[in-house]
Structure 1
Amino acid sequence: MKLSSLYFCFITLFFALPLAAESTLLVDVFEFNSVETQSRAINLARQLRCPQCQNQNLMESNSPIAKDLRLTVYLMVNKGDGDAKVIDYMTNRFGDMVLYKPKFEPRTYVLWLGPVFFIGLFGWLGYRKVKGSIVN
């Protein structure tokens, strides 16, 4: 009985170790010029949304395109490009959907002002309903 448990543990480890080794391969390692450059690249990757996942930023996503875009951000920041240039490059390539905070411009007015409009509308409707029930 004891030998079979030892055999089971050995077989389990034999099949589990390759999975653990594969998960260590998912880590991106970049060499930065300075700590400031590293923090800039990390902050930029956190500000940009993964085009494939759409609910994760580039740092959180493990999709292949997110890995490529992290590399692009790293190369551009390490080359000395500014944050605005990196963001412009990404928005030109993928559109405003890669930004968590899109710019306030005419084509995004609905996005920015829509919630304020609906809160005001529902507040006004609620006020009228309460006012009507008090009068009656």
Structure 2
Amino acid sequence: MERLTGWKRDEVIGKLLPGEIFGSFCRLKGQDTLTNFMILIYRGISGQDSEKLPFGFFDRNGEFVESSITTNKRIDAGGNILGCFCFLQVVTPDLNQFSKEHKPIGRENISESKELAYILQEIETMTLT
């Protein structure tokens, strides 16, 4: 996140993702972008996995970052929804070229990637407390 936005972790920790981080720290193109972002988050929290949503914002230096965002629910061991994970992917010409030349990742690899992301987030959370 720091490389993407230019904001250091200690500057944004404890801030709300929609409105404070994306809205104040990282200006969005318009109110529609914030509204769509919030809808995407609420869908993730309600258990609906999302498709990629085009998502652009201005980083700390005022440069526009074109990305896409997806959300996935975050659950505990009992299957209760705790929140959602947000995944930002920067849109670059190299990435677009790569996706055209290669076959999509199989469902097994996607599940493994999501599980790894969850484990990494849990480890990070544990080190903060």
**TM class by smaller structure:** under 0.3
Structure with larger Rg: 1
Structure (1/2) with the larger strand percentage: 2
Structure (1/2) with the larger helix percentage: 1
